[in-house]
Amino acid sequence: MKRFICILTAMSLCVAMFVSCGKTVEAKWQEQLDLGMRYLEEMDYENAILSFNKAIEIDPRQAESYLGLADAYIMMEDYETAMEVLQQGYDATGSDLLEDKLEDMRSGNIVDFRGRVLQKTVYEDGEAVYIYTYTYNEDGYEVGFDCECFKEGEEDYYGVVEEFSENGAPYRYNYYSADGSPLETWDIMTFNDQKQEIRREKYWGGELSMVGEYFYDGQGRQSGWKCYMDGALESYCENTYDENGRLTGEIIYNPDGTVRSQSVFQ
């Protein structure tokens, strides 16, 4: 009987040690993951990479580690390495989250860990016709973009915020052709508390002539926009997303509801 109790006690200790070790591994992994995310927020990308790599070494089955590591490389604009990390992570975990992000990047649509669009590729009939690249300031506001055009008859152009309001938000956004010639100016820009643009106003001859209104869904994704010319609706847009929240298309309508154009993001 005593021998049975000793064996049972020994088995209980082994189980307790196993559980304890399991918790320790999980705690160590979580610590490195949290540290990596903190470094990401602080824009210390080199240390973020070290922390996420340590998290992967501790437990290579956790998809969040690969996602964080890929995000760190994305912030460093090393997109090729980011895709390699996502592929490595998918091979190790089979995570749909990693596969979806990898597919997005391969198709030219790149989003950072804050959900900001860094690059967007617009397709028509399966061919890329526009590639937009966006830049942001330290406050999180979009302050510039470049558009590379592949559509016949259209040229590259870019935009840059050249004036800011008192609270640091962009105020005047100027558009230029590739050679630096001015194209147009948006005079007033309005943002919500999430620093998402919700309105643009343009003035000609001192009078309000064009207004752009932007809308977002409950997950912070831009669901569409409306454009008004001289107070009348000129066009409006609806964005479409798949079940994983990826932007899949953009449909622009005429005021009467007929389709003006439709783009598919692959």
* One domain, residues 176 and 62: no
Q: Which domain holds residue 71?
A: 26-106
* One domain, residues 155 and 243: yes
Where is the domain boundary, 106, 132, 151?
106
User: Could you give the angle at the alpha carbon of 147 between the alpha carbons of 166 and 85, nearest 5°?
Assistant: 95
Residue 12 lies in a domain: no
Residue 17 lies in a domain: no
Overall domain count for the chain = 2
Which pTM value belongs to this model?
0.73
- What's the confidence (pLDDT) of residue 11? 46
* One domain, residues 33 and 90: yes
CA–CA distance from 27 to each of 38, 226, 239 (Å)? 16, 48, 41
* 3-state SS, residue 236: strand
Where is the domain boundary, 106, 140, 174?
106
222/135 Cα distance (integer angstroms): 18
pLDDT mean by block of 10 residues, the chain; 266 residues: 45 45 80 96 96 96 96 96 97 94 91 88 86 90 93 92 87 90 86 86 83 88 92 94 78 94 76
Q: What is the 3-state secondary structure (H, E, C) of 114-175?
A: CCCEEEEEEEECCEEEEEEEEEECCCCCEEEEEEEECCCCCCCEEEEEEEECCCCCEEEEEE
CA–CA distance from 207 to each of 108, 162, 187, 225 (Å)? 39, 21, 11, 22
* One domain, residues 91 and 131: no
Angle between helices 2-41 and 45-58 in degrees, nearest 10: 160
* One domain, residues 93 and 135: no
* One domain, residues 134 and 71: no
- What's the confidence (pLDDT) of residue 266? 60
77/72 Cα distance (integer angstroms): 9
Residue type at 255? P
* One domain, residues 214 and 169: yes
What's the CATH number where 53 sits? 1.25.40.10
Give Dmax (Cα) for the chain. 100
* One domain, residues 62 and 173: no
- What's the confidence (pLDDT) of residue 23? 67
Residue 185 lies in a domain: yes
* One domain, residues 190 and 210: yes
Residue 16 lies in a domain: no
* One domain, residues 244 and 206: yes
Dihedrals φ, ψ of 264, to 5°?
-115, 125
What length does the chain have?
Answer: 266
99/85 Cα distance (integer angstroms): 11
Residue 212 lies in a domain: yes
Where is the domain boundary, 82, 106, 130?
106
* One domain, residues 98 and 155: no
Residue 218 lies in a domain: yes
CA–CA distance from 11 to each of 2, 8, 103, 265 (Å)? 14, 5, 48, 57
Residue 211 lies in a domain: yes
* One domain, residues 87 and 170: no
Residue 124 lies in a domain: yes
